[in-house]
Chains A and B, each alone.
Chain A
Amino acid sequence: MKRLLVAGHARIFQICRCFRQGEFGSRHLPEFTMLEWYRAEADYRDLMSECEELVTALAQDLDMPEGLIRGGRTIDIRKPWERLMLEEAFERYAPVSLDEALAVGTFDELMAFEVEPRLSMDRPVFICDFPVSLGALARRNSGNPEVAERFELYIGGLELVNAFSELTDAGEQRERFLKEEAKRRAMGKRPYPMPEKFLHDLAKMPESAGAALGMDRLVMLFTGAEEIGDVVAFRPEEL
Chain B
Amino acid sequence: MYSAADLRKGLRIKLDGDPYTITEFNFVKPGKGQSLYRCKLRNMITGAQFERTFREVDTFEAADLQQKAMQYLYKEGDNYVFMDLESYEQVYLTDDQVGDTKNYLIDSLEVEILLFEDRPIGVTLPNSVDLRVEHAEPWAKGDSVSGNYKPVVLETGYRILVPPFIEEGEKIRVDTRSGEYITRVKE
Contacts and interface: CB of A to CB of B under 8 A. Distances in A.
Interface of A: 21-28, 107-109, 111-113, 115-116, 127, 130, 134, 152, 159, 162, 187-188
Contacts, number: 51
B27 A111 contact: no
B33 A107 contact: yes
Given A112-B36, A113-B38, A159 B27 contact: no
A21 B55 CA distance: 15
B31 A22 contact: no
A149 to B, nearest CB: 15
A111 B30 contact: yes
A112 B31 CA distance: 9
A23 B57 contact: no
Considering the complex of A and B, which 8 residue pairs feature the smallest CB-CB distances, nearest first? A25-B27, A22-B5, A111-B30, A108-B33, A112-B30, A112-B28, A25-B26, A108-B34
Contacts of A188: 57
B29 A28 contact: yes
A109 B54 CA distance: 10
Q: How many interface residues does chain B have, given as a range?
A: 10 to 19
Contacts of B26: 25-26
Nearest to A112: B30
Given A25-B26, A134-B33, 20 more contacts: A21-B5, A23-B27, A23-B29, A26-B27, A108-B30, A108-B34, A108-B36, A108-B55, A112-B29, A112-B30, A112-B36, A113-B38, A115-B30, A127-B31, A130-B31, A134-B32, A159-B30, A159-B31, A162-B31, A188-B57
The prevalent SS among residues of A at the interface is mixed
Contacts of A113: 38, 53
19 contacts: A25-B25, A25-B28, A26-B26, A26-B27, A28-B28, A107-B33, A108-B30, A109-B36, A109-B53, A111-B31, A111-B33, A112-B29, A112-B38, A113-B38, A113-B53, A134-B31, A134-B33, A159-B30, A159-B31
A130 B32 CA distance: 12
Interface of B: 5, 25-36, 38, 53, 55-57
A152 B30 CA distance: 10
A116 B27 contact: no
A71 B139 CA distance: 53
Contacts of A108: 30-31, 33-34, 36, 55
Nearest to B27: A25
Contacts of B35: 22-23
Contacts of A115: 30
Contacts of A22: 5, 35
B56 to A, nearest CB: 7
